[in-house]
Amino acid sequence: MKRTLNRRQFLRGMMAGGLVTVQLPLLEMFMGRKALAQDGGFPRRFGLFYWGNGNRPEHWVPTGEGFGDDWTLSQSLQSLLPVKDKLAVISGMSLKVPNTSPHWSGGIGFLTGQELIGDDDNWTAAVPSFDQLLAQEIGGETVYRSLITGCVTNESVSWNGPNARNPVESDPYAFYEKIFGPTFRAPGEEGIVDPTLGYRRSVLDVVREDTLALQNQLGATDRIRLEQHLDGIRDIELRLARLQEDPPALDACFRPDAPLEEYPDIESRPQMAARNAVMSQMIAMALACDQTRVVNYTFTSPLNNILYDFTDMGHHSLTHNESGDQPLVQKVTEFAMEQASVFLQALDGIPEGDGTLLDNCAILISSEVSEGRAHSLDEYPLVLAGSAGGRLQQNLHHRSHSTGNANELTLSVLRAMGMNLVSFGAGDSLVTNGLSAVEV
Amino acid sequence: MFSGLILSLSLSWYACTGEKDTAETLSPPTSEPSVTAVSPALRRLTISQYQNIVTDVFGEGLLVPSNLEPDIETEGFKSLGASISSISPVGVERYEQASYSIAIQIIEDSDRLTPWFGCELDVSPSQACISTGIDTLGLELWRSPLTTVERERLNELYQIIADQTDTLTGVEYVLSAMLQSPRFLYRSEMNTDSLINNAQAVHSLDAWSLASKLSFFLWNSVPDVELLELAQSEELLDQSVLEEQIDRMMEDPRFENGTRNFFDEMLHLYALDDITKDPFVYTHASPDLYASAKEETFRTIDYIIHNDMDFRELLTTQTTFVDRRLSTLYGIPAPISNGFGEVTLTEQTGRRGLLTQASMLNLHAHATASSPTLRGVFIRKTLLCQSVPPPPADVDTSIPEATDDAPTMRERLEQHFEDPSCAGCHKMMDLVGLGLENFDGIGQWRNLENNAPIDPSGNIDGTDFLNAWDMGKVVSEHRNLGPCLTDQVYSYALGHRMTDDEEPHQDWLVEHLFYNDWSFTSLVKTIALSEAFRSHGTHETQSNGG
C-alpha cells in the first residue's frame, strides 16, 4: 500500500507534543535568518573554482601592474574580460609547502595551507581544507554548511581532515534534486512544510543515541571517527530545522529550471561546456537563495586525464608528453578560464541591492600546480573575483617581486569572509599576515 | 609489512625492490606462531558490503544506491581503508537518503517483511508482532542482538510515527533508522574479556564478532541465520564447529562474492567502471568492453578457485572466458554467440594468463597509449609487494617523442634512462612492463609500433623472458609471489596491514601455501581458522578509562 500523509494528523501530533524531541540548541533554531540583515542586507559568500593540472606560466601573467587601465589580461585570462573590473590577479607568488608528491603536494597544500601527510599509497590532508573552516564559521545559518560540487570529476579538493575527503556531487540532475528538489521552497511558498521532515528528525534522534552508546565501547581513535558521524547527524538536523522555517525573502531567488537528466560523453569526451553552464546557473541560484554561503566547485580535478574535443591525449598525459611550447596544454588552460568566466558571469548576472551577487562573493580560482609538466609550485596561479561586499580590491594585478607566500592571499580572503584568524598554514608555508595589496 | 620484505639485492636496487628468501618446502607446516596483539579498529562498511547486505537480507530486485561516501583505499585495499576512514557530513546525508530509498522500496512490497514480523503489516498488527520484527531484523542487520535500550528506542519510534500515519509508514521509518545506525554502518569487534585492564593481552573474539568477521571475510556480507544461531549458543567458539562452518560457507554461492571482492580490491578491477579510452585511437573502445574485460578476469579467478588449482596458474593458464566483444579484440573465434564461453588460447595469440587479459592491459595504460611504466608498477607492487617510489615532484617526467631513430617505446624510454635520477626506478618498472608492449593500450595484439618491430624480451630480478607469454611464467615463479599473496589475504581478513611483528605469521602461511600446492581456498581456510583471526589486541586506551 502507498504511504498517506495527512497534514491534519501531523499537526495534531505536533500539538500533542508527541512528534519530535528537539535536540537542537533552541536558540540557534529560532534565531532564523537574522544574519541576512547584517551589512546592509546581503551575506558574504565564498566560492572556489578549481581546475586540474596547472597552466603554461609564460602565458598566464598579465602585463602591467596596478589598478584599472594599468594592467591588461594575459592570453590565458583573456576570456575573463567581461568581469575584469571585478578581478584581482595575483602573480609571482609560490606555494611554500614541500613539493614531495607530484600534484598531491600542491593540491592538498593550497587547500589546507600545509604539507600533506601519508605515503604514496594514501596521501591525505593533515587538517581540514579552508573551505571547510569557512563552512564551520559561516555555514551554520544556511540549509547547507557548504556545497561540494564539480563539473567533470569524481573527486573533490575538499577535506575534513586526515582520511576524510569530502564526496563531490558532479551530476547536474542529482545536484538539482538535492538543492531544488521536493524540500526546497522559494520565497512566497510559505506554509507548506513537508511533514516527513519531522519524522526524519525523530529517526535521527534514535540514530544519535545509538551512536553515543557505541562510542562508549570504543577506543580513542574510533571515538573521534564516530564524533565525525555525529557532526554529520547534527548537520542534517539543522538542515531539517531550516527547511521547516519559512524561506528567506530574497528577491533574486527562484526555483531554476531542472537540468537534463544526463549529459553523456560524446566520443569519450565529456560535455564540459554544457555541464559547466548548468552547474554555474544552479550554484549561482543556490547562493542567491541562501541555501549555502560556501561553494567548493571542482571544475576538473588534480591529475585528471580528461580528453578534450581538441586533444588526442588525456590532459595529464598531455602536460607531460606534448613537446615544445605545449600549445594544446595552453588551449586547455584557456578553455578552463572560458568556463571560469561563464561561472563568474552567472554570479554577476544576479542583482543584489545596488550590485550583483558576485560583489558579495569572494571567488578564488586556482589549480594544484603552475607548470604541469614540472609540477612547479612557483608562479602559482591565483585569481580572485568579487569583493566580499567591498572588503577586497578589484580590477587589480598585483605581482610579488619577492616570491611571496601564496597562503597570504588565502588568509586575506578568509579574514574578508569574517574569520578572525591569527595565521594560516603551518611549517614552511605558515603566514600570519595577509596580502595587504588585496585588502581594502 | 613492506619494510619487512626489503633486503637489498644490490645497491642501486635498494630503494626499489623488496626481496624475501623463501625456499619452497614440502614438509608439513609448523604450528601457528604466537599471536601479535593488534588493537581492533572500527570498520565502516564498504559500498559493496552495503549493497550485498541489502540484497542478502531483503532479497533481489531492490535498487540499492551506490552514491554513498566513497571508499578510501589504503595500501591498495578498500577493506583496509575502511579501518581508518572517517565520514563526511555529505556521507552521513547520503546514508540517510539511501536508507529511505531502500525502506520505501521494501514497504511497497511488504511481503518481504513477513519473515521477520510474521504478521500482516497492512492490517493492524499487535505490538508483539512489531516488537518481534524489530528484534529479528535488528539482529540480522546489526549482527548481534539489540540491547534493551535499543529495542525500546526503535519501538517508541515506530509508535510515534505509526500513530500519526499508519503501520507501514511506521515500519518504513524504523527500517530507515536501522540502516542509518552506526550499529549497521560500522563493524566493531568485541571480545569475551572485560574491556579494561589487560592492556597487552590478546583477547578472544566473542561469538557474535567472530560470526561477523567470518562472514565479511568469506562472503563480504552479514552472517546468515545458521551462523547467528551458533553465535547465540556460543558453539561457534568451538574449533570443530568453526571448521564445519568455514567449510559450509566456502561451499555456499556467496563465497564467490567474497573471493571476487578480494580480487576486485587487490587488482582494482572496479576502476574499469570509470576508464576512458580514445575511440579515435582505439576503435574497440567502449564501456561494454571494459565490463566484459572485468568479467573475464573474475571468471578466470572463479575457475582457478572452483577447481582448486595451483593459484600460480592464474598467470599462465591458457583457459579463459570471452564474449563476442573480447574475442573480436583478441582476434579469436567467439566460443558462443551470446554471453561468455570458455576458450583455450594458443601460443599463436601470444596471450595467456592474467597479465595479458584486457582488464589488466587497459587498467595499466593511458587513454591513447600503452604504458610499460604503469604495467611494470602493477606487477612489482600488486603481485610481488615490492615498493616502487613515486617520481620526484619537481622533475620533467615527459617521455621523448617517437622519432625515426627511436620509433618504439623501448627506444624512447632508453633515452629516458640516461637521466640518473630516473634510471634506477624506471628500469625496474619499464624493463618488466616492456614485456607487454605487444599489447596496445586497449589490449589488442600488435607486432609493430610506428612500423618498427617490437622487442618484448626482458628480465625480472635475474630471470630472462622472451615475451609476454613467457613473462607470466617468470612472474608466477618469482619468490615474492607467495609471501605477497599471503600478506594481502591476511591483511584483508584481519582489517589491518600485516605488521612487522606478524612476520612469523607470514612465514607460517607461506609454508601452508606451499604444502597445500598453492591452493587459494586452503590459504583462506587456514587464515579463517587461525588464532590470529579469532582474536585481537586490547581496544586502544580509552580517554575515560572504560
Pairwise CA distance, residues A156 & A380, whole Å:
20
Chain B residue numbers touching A128 (CB-CB < 8 A): none
Which residue is associated with the grid cell 566473542? B206
CB contact under 8 A, A203 and B176: yes
B364–chain A nearest CA distance, Å: 14
Chain B from 65 to 104: CB within 8 A of any A CB: 67, 69-70, 72-76, 81, 84-94, 96, 104
Per-residue confidence (pLDDT) for residue B425, from 0 to 100 = 83
For A179-188, write each residue's pLDDT tens digit.
Answer: 999 888 888 8
State whether residue B286 sits within 8 Å of chain A by CB.
no
Pairing of strands B43-44, B452-453: unpaired
- Beta carbons of B274 and A268 less than 8 Å apart: no
d(CA B368, CA B263): 26
Tally C-beta pairs within 8 A across A and B: 236
| B124 shares contact with chain A (CB less than 8 Å) | no
Chain B, residues 22-51, CB within 8 A of chain A, namely 39, 41-42
**φ, ψ (nearest 5 deg) of residue B171:** -65, -40
User: 10-residue block means of pLDDT along chain B (546 residues)?
Assistant: 34 39 62 90 97 95 93 93 92 96 93 87 85 96 97 97 94 98 95 63 92 98 97 97 98 97 98 92 94 98 98 98 97 94 96 98 94 95 90 72 88 83 85 96 96 95 96 97 98 95 95 96 98 88 41
**Which one of B157, B181, B541 has the shortest CB-CB distance to A202?**
B157
- Contact between B87 and A228 using a beta-carbon 8 Å cutoff: yes
SS3 (DSSP) at B390:
coil
pTM assigned to the model:
0.88
Q: Which of residues 50-69 of B touch A (CB under 8 A)?
A: 67, 69
CB contact B200 to A (< 8 Å): no
Residues in B closer than 8 angstroms to A161, CB to CB, are 86
The SS3 call for residue B464 is strand
Candidates B82, B196, B204, B44; CA nearest to B536 is B204
Residue A21 touches partner B, C-beta closer than 8 Å? no
Pick from B502, B447, B426, B435: nearest CA to B471: B435
Q: How far apart are CA B67 and CA A191, in angstroms?
A: 32
Q: Identify whether the C-beta of residue A353 lies closer than 8 Å to the C-beta of residue A398.
A: no
Nearest CB partner across the interface for A222, out of B41, B75, B398: B41
CB pair distance less than 8 Å for B157 and A206: yes
Q: Which of B3, B68, B90, B373 has the highest number of chain A CBs within 10 A, making it the mutation to test binding with A?
A: B90
| Dist. CA B460–CA B442, nearest whole Å | 24
A393 DSSP assignment: -
- Inter-chain contact A305–B276, Cβ cutoff 8 Å? yes
Test mutation, B1, B38, B67, B92, chain A, max A CBs within 10 A: B92
Q: What percent of chain B has pLDDT over 70?
A: 92
Average pLDDT, chain A: 89
| Nearest CB to A3; choose among B168, B182, B395 | B168
- B543 to chain A, minimum CA–CA distance in Å? 6
Q: Cα separation of A56 and A384, whole Å?
A: 19
Contact A317 B369 (CB under 8 A): yes
What pLDDT is attached to residue B195? 55
Distance of CA A188 to the CA centre of its chain: 28
- Contacting residues for A232 by C-beta, under 8 A, at least 6 apart: B87, B88, B89, B90, B91, B92, B93
- B436: number of Cβ within 10 Å: 28
pLDDT value of position B390: 75
Residue from the list B76, B176, B401 with its beta carbon closest to the beta carbon of A323: B401
Q: Cα–Cα distance between B181 and B443 in angstroms, integer?
A: 45
Query: DSSP character for B382?
Result: I
How open is the CA angle B424-B425-B430, to the nearest 5 degrees?
A: 110
Picking from B2, B87, B196 by the largest number of A CB atoms within 10 A of its own CB, the best residue to mutate is B87
Question: Using CA atoms, how far apart are residues B385 and B396, in angstroms rounded to an integer?
Answer: 27
Closest CA of chain B from A310, distance in Å: 12
Q: What is the DSSP letter of B369?
A: S
Pair A290, A36: CB distance under 8 Å = yes
pLDDT at B392: 74
Q: Evaluate whether B254 touches B246 at the Cβ level (below 8 Å).
A: no
Angle, in degrees to the nearest 10, between helices B520-529 and B287-306: 70
Nearest-CA distance B329 → chain A (Å): 19
Contact state of A268 with B285 under an 8 Å Cβ cutoff: yes
Using the Cβ of B273 and the Cβ atoms of chain A, whether some distance falls under 8 Å is answered with no
Contacts of B69 in chain A (CB under 8 A): 167
Whether residue B208 contacts residue B231, with contact meaning beta carbons closer than 8 Å, is answered with yes
A6 interfaces chain B, CB cutoff of 8 Å:
yes
Residues of A in contact with B536 (CB under 8 A): none
**pLDDT score at A321:** 86
Q: Residue A301 phi/psi, 5° resolution?
A: -100, 160
Identify which of A19, A220, A307 has the shortest CB distance to residue B543. Answer: A220
Q: Which of B180, B366, B398 sits opposite A314 (nearest CB)?
A: B366
Q: Which of residues 37-96 of A touch B (CB under 8 A)?
A: none
Contact of A300 with chain B, judged by CB distance below 8 Å, is answered with no
- Note the ipTM here: 0.90
Cell numbers linked to B152: 525500546
CA-nearest of B434, B433, B437 to B445 is: B437
pLDDT score, position B170: 96
Contact call for B169 and A3, based on CB within 8 A: yes
Residues of chain A contacting residue B159, judged by C-beta atoms under 8 Å apart: none
DSSP per residue over B8-43, as a string?
-SSGGGTTT----------SPP-PPPPPP------E
* Residue B91 main-chain phi, psi, to 5 deg: -65, -40
Which of 217-256 (A) contact B at CB < 8 A?
217-226, 228-229, 231-233, 235-236
* Structural contact between residues A85 and A386, judged by C-beta atoms closer than 8 angstroms: no
Task: Give the cell for residue A67.
Answer: 589598478
Dump strand ranges (E) for A151-268: 159-161, 164-165
User: Do A411 and A431 meet the contact criterion of CB atoms below 8 Å apart?
Assistant: yes
Q: Buried b / exposed e across A362-397, counting CB within 10 Å, b at 16+?
A: bbbbbbbbbbbbbbbbbbbbbbbbbbbbebbbbbbb
Taking the CB of residue B274, how many other CB atoms lie within 10 A of it?
Answer: 9
| Residues lower than pLDDT 70 in chain A | 1-40, 190-191
